[in-house]
Amino acid sequence: MNIRVTAQTQTANAIAYQRQQFAMLAKFQDQISSGLRVKLPSDDPSQFPALTHAKAAQLRLTMYSQTIADATTDLNASVNALQEVNNILVRAKEIAIEGANSTTEPRGGYEALAKEVDSLIDRALRAANSQQDGKYLFAGTATTTTPFRVALTDTNGRPAVIEYLGATDRSRVLISQGETVQVRYAGNQVFQSSGTNVFEALIGLRDDLRAAALSGANMGQAISARLGQIDSARNAIGETIGEQSATLAILDTLQARIADLKLDATIRAVEIEGTDYAEAMMRMKSQDTALQATLAISARLLQPSLLDFLR
């Protein structure tokens, strides 16, 4: 059976072939301009799954890196607040030693020391209510709740009882697959554990000093008894500082490891999807040459003649 190839068929075939070549040329031009060789699964079906895996790893590691950075910021702020409380307790111990000294002037001397302890209590309360990014550091999981408040005052309006309002559980954050760290501690465990209550130690010292000032008697023995309570509170604060510092060291090591893994994933993704400019330029030039040849041949084949009009 004879199949007649008409001018219309030739024209359609030529146009279709030219479109195909234009598309290939545009593809190589896009690879060079964008720097990307693989954008769609059809660009490289065999490598696209590996590219998807590498990009997923990049996103996951980026999330972990940000979480670690946030946790590091929170823990550094927490350690700073705890160091402030430690400094307060160091000064409280110095005051207790001075108050226990038999040479302390009974009235004026004790009252001056008591007033200084009043200021230490205020500083300790502010430190215990420290915030980072608008969230409380020592309220446990209740990060928007002010952890400590003055629940009872004496007849002169000075703090007598300080109450904890936060959660009893520490907040945790995910820093890698299946691994979490404690970030925001429960303040009652840090500042008000049995026998190591920071506020009770400070308030008790202040009351002892003021009692001595009012009575005019030497309260050296009673004030000396507060030293053990202050030391216990300070040791508890030191243990928490040590625990959080150890966590910071772990986070620093993990952050470096994640940075390496993220770099590996990035390099892998670039290797798969990135343009090989030398190859792309060569193929683009080759495609352009082939296209120009096709256009020239098509122009000769498709020139209309008188016979075309007579058919």
Cα distance between residue 289 and residue 186, in whole Å = 73
- Pairing label, strands 148-153, 131-132: unpaired
Q: What is the pLDDT of residue 222?
A: 80
Q: What is the pTM of this model?
A: 0.78
Cα distance between residue 285 and residue 172, in whole Å = 57
Q: What is the pLDDT of residue 19?
A: 65
Nearest to 131 by CA among 190, 74, 188, 66: 74
Q: 110-150, pLDDT tens digit by residue?
A: 899 999 999 999 999 999 999 999 999 999 999 999 999 99
Q: What is the pLDDT of residue 283?
A: 62
Q: Which stretches of the chain score pLDDT less than 50? A: 1, 306-307, 309-311
**What are the percentages of helix, strand and coil residues in the chain, rounded to 5?**
70, 10, 20
Strand, helix or coil for residue 139: strand
Alpha carbons within 13 angstroms on the beta-carbon side of residue 280 total 18
Cβ atoms of 206 and 118 closer than 8 Å: yes
- Pairing label, strands 131-132, 135-136: antiparallel
Residue 139 forms beta bridges with which residues? 186
Q: 17-51, pLDDT tens digit by residue?
A: 556 555 555 555 665 555 566 676 876 787 788 88
